[in-house]
Every structure is written in structure tokens, then in C-alpha cells.
């Protein structure tokens, strides 16, 4: 079974969705470690209460390259095959991306390539789009940019605020993230250019 490491910076609801999916057998992988770059992130306790090892590798006060090396070392020590970013608010370096080729995933709360960066939900409301959603994609060296694995659509309502939209998008995040990881850990995909072709027949929910 593939071994998954999850990187977080905050509350960790996507981390929990992945752990629960693995524990319930909907995701045929084992979550072996959760790493936070923020010492008091709520997700650390959340992971521990789910029985998962959770550690902190602080990003503050350390040159970025040193931080990334520690991170790679911690993941390698635990023989992590696939890395999932789940609200990890740090940019990764080429060294990190190369350490786990085509095995780093991220979830973003918009339909990329619309609204990359911070607060995708607020950007969507402010722009006035009628549909938004979330995206799971492979991580490359640019922000919110790598090939897209799965997306889910969430309609924007007239009375939505950034928060109410974020709440509904989050529900979809919790569905598609485990599904996307399942595709990757089973190698059920092929990448042609920027297109990720999923071989299970489940595409474009």
C-alpha cells in the first residue's frame, strides 16, 4: 500500500477527510505522517486524535532551503510515496518538487486556472462568477499551476459571501481530494501535456 504524507498549516479538515477515507477503506493508502509548518496549527491535534503521527517542522526563522531539506528528510524517513498539500501555506522549492516527481498533490478552492493564490472563494464572489468549485492538481514549481486531476463545480448563489461559498466548496473538497489521491496511488492516470487522463472511467464529475 502506498504511504501518504500530508502537509498542513491550519485547521486540517482536508487532512481529516483523507485520513478518514484511508481508515474507512475508500482510499487504499496509508496516511503515515502529518507535517505542519505552523507550531500551533489545529490540524496537529486533529491528526493525533485520529491516531496519526503529527510533527511540526517550523518554517519561521529558517532559510527556506533548509526548511525544505528537513521536510524531505522527514518524509523520506517515513518512506512517504505521495505528498498531499492540504492548506499548506508555503511555496515549495524545485528541490522538493523533484524529490517526489508527479507525487505531490494540492487542493485549491476555485476552478483553476481561475483565482489562484490566496482566498480563491473571495476572489470568485468579488469577480461575480456564477460557478466556482475546487481543484485537485499535481504540484509543480508554480503556484496552483500543475496538471489538474479532478475538479468539482459549486454554483455561486446571489446571496453568497466568501464564507458561505467557502463552506459549500469545502464539502466538495472533502469528496474530491480522497478520490484524486486514490487515482494517483493506484497509478490510474496518464499525463499528456497538461492533461491528466484518468483511467477509471470516472472523469468530469
* Between 15 and 124, CB nearer to ligand GRF: 15
Q: Does 151 bind ligand GRF (CB under 6 A)?
A: no
How many chain residues bind ligand GRF (CB under 6 A)? 15
Judge whether 142 and 182 are in contact, CB under 8 Å: no
121: nearest Cα among 173, 83, 176, 195: 173
Q: List C-alpha distances in Å: 53 to 19, 81, 92, 95, 105.
A: 11, 16, 22, 24, 20
Cis peptide before 139 (omega within 30 of 0): no
Return all residues near 139 (Cβ < 8 A) that are at least 6 apart.
85, 92, 97, 104, 105, 106, 146
Residue 108 among the catalytic residues: yes
- Half-sphere exposure of 80 toward its Cβ, with a 13 Å CA cutoff? 27
Of 88 and 100, which CB lies nearer to ligand GRF in the complex structure? 88
- Binding to ligand GRF, residues 26-65 (CB under 6 A): 43
Residue range at the interface with ligand GRF (CB under 6 A); choices 22-30, 102-110, 150-158, 195-203: 102-110
CB 186 within 8 A of CB 198: no
Residues contacting 81, CB < 8 A, separation 6+:
2, 3, 4, 103, 185
| Interacting span for ligand GRF (CB under 6 A) from 52-60, 104-112, 180-188, 190-198 | 104-112
- The verdict on 147 binding ligand GRF (CB under 6 A) reads no
Question: Which residue lies nearer to ligand GRF by CB, 108 or 168?
Answer: 108
Closer residue to ligand GRF in complex, CB, 172/182: 172
- Does 12 contact ligand GRF by CB under 6 A? yes
Does the footprint of ligand GRF cover residue 173 (CB under 6 A)? yes
Q: Which stretch binds ligand GRF (CB under 6 A): 65-73, 106-114, 179-187, 193-201?
A: 106-114
Positions that interact with ligand GRF (CB under 6 A): 8, 10-15, 43, 86-87, 107-109, 170, 173
- Residues annotated catalytic, as ranges: 108
Amino acid at each position: 500500500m502506498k504511504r501518504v504524507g500530508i502537509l498542513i498549516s491550519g485547521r486540517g479538515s482536508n487532512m481529516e477527510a483523507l485520513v478518514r477515507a484511508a481508515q474507512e477503506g475508500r482510499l487504499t493508502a496509508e496516511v503515515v505522517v502529518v507535517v505542519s509548518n505552523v507550531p500551533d496549527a489545529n490540524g496537529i491535534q486533529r491528526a493525533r486524535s485520529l491516531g496519526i503521527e503529527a510533527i511540526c517542522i517550523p518554517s519561521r526563522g529558517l532559510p527556506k532551503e533548509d526548511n525544505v531539506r528537513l521536510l524531505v528528510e522527514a518524509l523520506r524517513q517515513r518512506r512517504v510515496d505521495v505528498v498531499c498539500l492540504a492548506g499548506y501555506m508555503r511555496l515549495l522549492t524545485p528541490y522538493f518538487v523533484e524529490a517526489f516527481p508527479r507525487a505531490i498533490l494540492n487542493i485549491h478552492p476555485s476552478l483553476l486556472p481561475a483565482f489562484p493564490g490566496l482566498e480563491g472563494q473571495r476572489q470568485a464572489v468579488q469577480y461575480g462568477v456564477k460557478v466556482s468549485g475546487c481543484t485537485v492538481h499535481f504540484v509543480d514549481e508554480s503556484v496552483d499551476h500543475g496538471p489538474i486531476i479532478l475538479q468539482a463545480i459549486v454554483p455561486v448563489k446571489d446571496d453568497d459571501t466568501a464564507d458561505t461559498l467557502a463552506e459549500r466548496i469545502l464539502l466538495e473538497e472533502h469528496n474530491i481530494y480522497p478520490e484524486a489521491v486514490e487515482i494517483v496511488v493506484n497509478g490510474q492516470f496518464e499525463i499528456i501535456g497538461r492533461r491528466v487522463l484518468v483511467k477509471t472511467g470516472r472523469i468530469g464529475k
